[in-house]
C-alpha cells in the first residue's frame, strides 16, 4: 500500500516536472533533447561568454540534456568529441569549429548516423556545407571591414599599421582579414607586419612586443582581430614606454566589458562588436532541427561599433 502510494506520488511529481519541461523545449514524448556541444576551448573572454550563453540556453530546465566538451584549443580533441557524440547517439551535435578545414570525415560519420549538426560561431570549408544544417554566428567579414573603415576614415594616407591576427586557419581570422583587406586597399595605408597571436591575451602581448622590437616607433596603429590580443598589446606598448591609444592607436573586435572599459579610458580607440551570446538562437535551431522543421542556413547576430562615448553609454549593463 505504502509503496503504491509512493509510486503514485512519484509518478505525479514526475508528471508535473515533465509538464514544466514540456512548456519549454522537451520533445513530444516529454523527454529531453540530448545535445553534444564541442567547444574550441577557453582562449578568450569572448569564448567564455559564448560557453556560458550556450550552457544556459541548453539547460535541463529548457528541455536539453547537454554534453559539453572543451577541446582545449586542439582540433584533434574537437574531432574526438564529435566522434564520441556520434557513438553515444545524441539527438543533435553543436560544433564550434576551431579551424575551417579537416571536418569532412567526422561530419560524414554524423550524417551517416542520422545526427543533425548545427555550427555555432565559426564556419567550415564551403565544400563541406552539405554536412551541417545551419550556422549560428557573426559576420566576420563585415567586422574586419568595419575596423578598416574606421582606419581609413581617421588615419592619414601613409599611416603605418601592424595586425594581430586570430588563429591561423579559423574562419574568424580568415574572414576578418578578407573583409579588412578589401576595405583598406587603395587608401595608402602601409601594413608593416601581420602575425598570428592565437586570439589570446598572452599571444597578443608577445607578438606586439616582437613588433615593437622590430619596428619601434614606426608603428602608428594596431588592428587586433580580438579584444584579448588588443589588451595584451596594451601591456606590451606600455612596457615599451609608449602610450596605448595615443602613440599607437588601436582598433579591436569583440566588444567585451574589459575592452569597452579600456575604450572609455582612452587606451583603445575603436571596438567592433562580435556578439558571443548565441545560446538562445542555438537552442531554438536545435529544437527545430530535432523536430524536423526547416531552418535557415545562417543566423547572423546583430553587431555594432563602439567609440568611447558609445561604450560609456552601455558599460553599466553590458552582458559580457
Ligand atoms: O573573436 C575571439 C575568439 O570565433 C568569433 O574567437 C570567435 C573569435 C572571437 O577567441 O575572441
pLDDT tens for the 320 residues of the chain, in order? 333 333 333 333 333 333 333 344 455 446 999 999 999 999 999 999 999 999 999 999 999 999 999 999 999 999 999 999 999 999 999 999 999 999 999 999 999 999 999 999 999 999 999 999 999 999 999 999 999 999 999 999 999 999 999 999 999 999 999 999 999 999 999 999 999 999 999 999 999 999 999 999 999 999 999 999 999 999 999 999 999 999 999 999 999 999 999 999 999 999 999 999 999 999 999 999 999 999 999 999 999 999 999 999 999 999 99
In angstroms, what is the span from residue 21 Cα to ligand 1's centroid? 33
Same domain, 114 and 81: yes
What is the pLDDT at residue 98? 98
Same domain, 165 and 270: yes
In angstroms, what is the span from residue 36 Cα to ligand 1's centroid? 21
319 in a structural domain: no
Same domain, 131 and 25: yes
Same domain, 50 and 111: yes
Same domain, 216 and 283: no
Same domain, 103 and 41: yes
In angstroms, what is the span from residue 263 Cα to ligand 1's centroid? 19
Give the atom of ligand 1 at the shortest distance from the alpha carbon of 276.
5
317 in a structural domain: no
* Whole-structure pTM value: 0.91
In angstroms, what is the span from residue 146 Cα to ligand 1's centroid? 16
Ligand 1 contact via 143 beta carbon (within 6 Å): no
Residue nearest to atom 7 of ligand 1 (CA): 172
Same domain, 170 and 219: yes
Ligand 1 contact via 120 beta carbon (within 6 Å): no
Ligand 1 contact via 199 beta carbon (within 6 Å): yes
29 in a structural domain: yes
Please report, for the domain that includes residue 151, its CATH number: 3.40.50.2300
Same domain, 99 and 119: yes
Give how many domains the chain has, as a whole number: 2
Convert the pLDDT of each residue in 207-218 to its tens digit.
999 999 999 999
Closest Cα partner for 196 from 231, 221, 215, 169?
Answer: 169
| Structural domain that includes position 204 | 140-274
Ligand 1 contact via 320 beta carbon (within 6 Å): no
Ligand 1 contact via 287 beta carbon (within 6 Å): no
What is the pLDDT at residue 30? 63
What is the pLDDT at residue 249? 98
218 in a structural domain: yes
What is the pLDDT at residue 9? 35
Convert the pLDDT of each residue in 102-157 to its tens digit.
999 999 999 999 999 999 999 999 999 999 999 999 999 999 999 999 999 999 99
312 in a structural domain: no
Ligand 1 contact via 256 beta carbon (within 6 Å): no
Ligand 1 contact via 67 beta carbon (within 6 Å): no
Same domain, 7 and 119: yes
In angstroms, what is the span from residue 286 Cα to ligand 1's centroid? 22
Same domain, 172 and 99: no
What is the pLDDT at residue 125? 97
In angstroms, what is the span from residue 298 Cα to ligand 1's centroid? 18
Give the atom of ligand 1 at the shortest distance from the alpha carbon of 121.
4
Ligand 1 contact via 163 beta carbon (within 6 Å): no
Ligand 1 contact via 274 beta carbon (within 6 Å): yes
Amino acid at each position: 500500500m505504502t509503496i503504491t502510494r509512493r509510486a503514485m506520488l512519484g509518478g505525479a511529481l514526475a508528471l508535473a516536472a515533465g509538464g514544466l519541461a514540456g512548456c519549454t523545449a522537451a520533445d513530444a514524448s516529454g523527454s529531453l533533447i540530448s545535445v553534444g556541444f564541442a567547444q574550441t576551448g577557453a582562449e578568450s573572454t569572448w569564448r567564455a561568454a559564448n560557453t556560458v550563453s550556450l550552457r544556459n540556453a541548453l539547460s535541463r530546465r529548457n528541455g536539453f540534456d547537454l554534453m559539453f566538451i572543451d577541446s582545449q584549443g586542439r582540433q584533434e580533441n574537437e574531432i574526438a568529441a564529435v566522434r564520441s557524440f556520434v557513438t553515444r547517439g545524441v539527438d543533435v551535435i553543436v560544433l564550434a569549429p576551431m579551424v575551417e578545414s579537416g571536418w569532412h570525415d567526422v561530419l560524414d560519420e554524423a550524417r551517416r548516423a542520422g545526427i543533425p549538426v548545427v555550427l555555432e560561431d565559426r564556419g567550415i570549408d564551403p565544400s563541406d556545407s552539405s554536412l551541417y544544417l545551419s550556422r549560428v554566428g557573426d559576420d566576420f567579414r563585415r567586422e574586419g571591414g568595419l575596423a578598416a573603415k574606421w582606419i581609413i576614415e581617421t588615419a592619414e594616407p601613409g599611416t603605418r599599421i601592424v595586425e594581430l591576427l586570430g588563429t591561423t586557419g579559423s574562419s574568424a581570422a580568415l574572414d576578418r582579414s578578407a573583409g579588412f583587406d578589401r576595405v583598406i586597399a587603395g587608401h595608402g595605408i602601409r601594413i608593416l607586419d601581420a602575425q598570428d597571436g592565437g586570439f589570446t591575451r598572452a599571444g597578443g602581448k608577445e607578438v606586439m612586443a616582437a613588433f615593437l622590437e622590430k619596428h619601434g616607433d614606426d608603428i602608428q596603429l594596431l588592428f587586433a582581430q580580438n579584444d584579448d590580443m588588443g589588451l595584451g598589446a596594451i601591456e606590451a606598448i606600455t612596457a615599451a614606454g609608449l602610450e596605448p591609444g595615443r602613440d599607437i592607436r588601436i582598433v579591436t573586435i569583440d566588444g567585451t566589458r574589459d575592452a569597452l572599459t579600456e575604450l572609455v579610458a582612452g587606451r583603445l580607440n575603436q571596438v567592433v562588436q562580435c556578439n558571443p551570446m548565441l545560446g538562445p538562437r542555438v537552442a531554438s535551431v536545435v529544437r527545430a532541427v530535432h523536430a524536423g522543421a526547416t531552418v535557415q542556413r545562417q543566423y547572423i547576430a546583430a553587431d555594432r561599433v563602439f567609440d568611447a562615448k558609445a561604450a560609456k553609454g552601455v558599460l553599466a549593463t553590458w552582458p559580457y
